[in-house]
């Protein structure tokens, strides 16, 4: 009976690994091409910033090095209490204060809307302050990719996660789920509609943005990127999602573990409701399967069979390698961390559960010292 149970668990583990393959089938990256732009677009870069003194300088420096020069760089200061404004001024940013917009709400979407109203470029590029263009042709590459989709709608880019500190590896499973949850990276990518857009980098034509209502229609929504994409799709304007690997990267939550926990708690519970049920089923099955190798090991030792223990170890290593390879498609995560990959899944489940409690029960989350109503 125990041996039958062992074989059933092995079979289900194989199913879960197949689910992992199907749910993250292909991640498109920006096309590196020698094509030229039909004409140099006038691009306004808009950077919402709240206490970003530790992140803003590298982004502004990378923008200064671009072969395709943006028309203007607008840094919208959202009531910062650090040196955000000074750094923006020192490195070529035009600073606008959020109170100049006289809006009834605060936060990232308000900052983006205020920046867009002040913009004069034909295209708007919204960048989070922790992003960084990887090389001098990054902006040109993004522009060419946007041009290839008719310079219409949204080109949404998820930056490649550059891991610098050990604790940042705890974002590995989150990064996988963020990309998978967009629906369009599965084996059914052409049949499913995108769940939203990636907030760290959004490139759009100003006319399309204004026609859709821009961040004004987003209001106080936590998932501003999802709501913005919904506004675009509502009027029939396309939203395309790709990875920024080789072009755009970021370092998430460099301030420390508390910031990482707060950041993922803020938006993960809300974002999950936009994922297609089929994709959510694949994700749930895959996450459940992550603990099966441990069950196999325990059962193998209980049975006292060396062959079963060996099979359990092979299953553990197999799942570990799959998780690592999936994570490396989203960031430069360290291999040795995945030796204890179940801890990463326990951490993910804990934060996801707490996010659901905060968003569904308490109806509030906290980010950078500001309480946000959900």
Q: What number of other Cβ atoms are within 10 A of residue 161's Cβ?
A: 23
Global confidence as pTM: 0.92
- Residue 270: the pLDDT is 61
- Residue 369: the pLDDT is 62
List the Cα angle 359/16/261 in 5-degree steps. 30
- Residue 138: the pLDDT is 96
Q: What is the CATH topology of the domain spanning 43-159+198-254? A: Spore Coat Polysaccharide Biosynthesis Protein SpsA; Chain A (3.90.550)
d(Cα 281, Cα 75) in Å, to the nearest integer? Answer: 40
What residues of the chain score a pLDDT lower than 50?
Answer: none
> What are the residue boundaries of the structural domains of the chain, listed by start?
2-25+276-368, 43-159+198-254
pLDDT tens profile 126-182: 999 999 999 999 999 999 999 999 999 999 999 999 999 999 999 999 999 999 999
Structure tokens that stand for 316 in this block: 């553990």
Q: How far is CA 62 from CA 59, 65, 197, in A?
A: 5, 5, 23
Q: How far is CA 101 from CA 115, 222, 297, in A?
A: 9, 19, 60
- Residue 358: the pLDDT is 79
**Strand residues in 58-129 grouped as ranges (E):** 72-77, 94-97, 123-127
- Going 82 to 266 to 176 to 242, the CA torsion angle's sign is negative
User: What's the half-sphere exposure (Cβ side, CA atoms, 13 Å) at 189?
Assistant: 16
């Amino acid at each position: 009976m125990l041996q039958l149970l062992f074989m059933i668990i092995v079979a289900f583990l194989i199913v879960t690994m197949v689910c992992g393959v199907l749910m993250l089938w292909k991640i498109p990256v920006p096309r590196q091409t020698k094509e030229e732009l039909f004409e140099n677009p006038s691009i306004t870069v808009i950077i919402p910033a709240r206490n970003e003194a530790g992140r803003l300088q590298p982004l502004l420096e990378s923008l200064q090095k671009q072969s395709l020069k943006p028309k203007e760089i607008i840094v919208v200061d959202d009531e910062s209490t650090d040196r955000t404004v000074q750094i923006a001024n020192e490195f070529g940013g035009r600073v606008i204060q959020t109170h100049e917009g006289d809006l009834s709400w605060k936060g990232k979407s308000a900052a983006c809307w205020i920046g867009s109203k002040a913009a004069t470029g034909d295209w708007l590029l919204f960048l989070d302050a922790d992003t960084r263009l990887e090389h001098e042709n990054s902006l040109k590459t993004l522009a060419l990719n946007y041009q290839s989709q008719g310079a219409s709608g949204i080109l949404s880019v998820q930056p490649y996660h550059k891991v610098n500190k050990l604790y940042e590896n705890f974002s590995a499973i989150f990064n996988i789920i963020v990309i998978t949850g967009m629906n369009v990276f599965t084996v059914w990518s052409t049949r499913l509609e995108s769940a939203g857009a990636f907030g760290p980098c959004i490139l759009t034509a100003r006319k399309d943005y204004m026609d859709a209502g821009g961040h004004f229609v987003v209001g106080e929504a936590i998932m501003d990127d999802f709501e913005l994409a919904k506004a675009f799709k509502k009027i029939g304007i396309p939203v395309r999602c790709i990875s920024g690997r080789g072009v755009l990267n970021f370092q998430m939550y460099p301030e420390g573990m508390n910031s990482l926990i707060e950041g993922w708690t803020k938006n993960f519970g809300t974002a999950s409701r936009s994922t297609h049920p089929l994709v959510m089923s694949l994700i749930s099955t895959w996450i459940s399967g992550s603990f099966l190798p441990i069950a196999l090991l325990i059962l193998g030792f209980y049975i006292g069979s060396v062959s079963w223990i060996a099979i359990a170890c092979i299953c553990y290593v197999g799942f570990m390698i799959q998780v690592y390879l999936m994570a490396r498609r989203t960031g430069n995560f360290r291999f040795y961390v995945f030796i204890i990959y179940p801890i990463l899944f326990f951490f993910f489940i804990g934060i996801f559960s707490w996010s659901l409690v905060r968003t569904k029960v308490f109806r509030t989350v906290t980010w950078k010292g500001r309480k946000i109503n959900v």
